[in-house]
């Protein structure tokens, strides 16, 4: 048995501060929900970053400045070349 829930019903519930505070509290304590949320956010950020050359440059610059990153690139390159 299902109920028809309209967008207006949902908006009414979202405006209920006490209910939303409880929802937020429960969601942030649930590891699986947080993992899913983190995954969703990471996916959206990744898509947005693909279209933003400035962020790509910043990430590349920071990665290249971090210790050991160049060695990781070389290791991956050697593995790629060895797969042929």
Q: Residue 15: which domain range?
A: 7-82
Q: Is residue 66 part of a domain?
A: yes
Q: Per the structure, how many domains does the chain have?
A: 1
**Considering the domain boundaries, does residue 47 fall inside one?**
yes
Sign of CA dihedral 25, 27, 31, 35: negative
pTM for this predicted structure: 0.55
Per residue in 19-78, pLDDT (tens digit) is 999 999 999 999 999 999 999 999 999 998 888 999 989 999 999 999 899 999 999 999
Note the pLDDT of residue 76: 94
* Within-domain flag for 2: no
């Amino acid at each position: 048995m299902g109920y028809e829930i309209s967008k207006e019903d949902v908006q009414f519930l979202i405006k209920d501060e006490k209910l939303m505070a409880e929802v937020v509290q429960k969601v942030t304590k649930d590891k699986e929900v947080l993992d899913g949320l983190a995954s969703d956010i990471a996916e959206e950020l990744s898509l947005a970053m693909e279209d933003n050359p400035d962020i790509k440059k910043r990430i590349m610059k920071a990665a290249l400045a971090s210790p050991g990153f160049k060695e990781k690139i070389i290791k991956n390159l050697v593995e790629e070349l060895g797969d042929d």
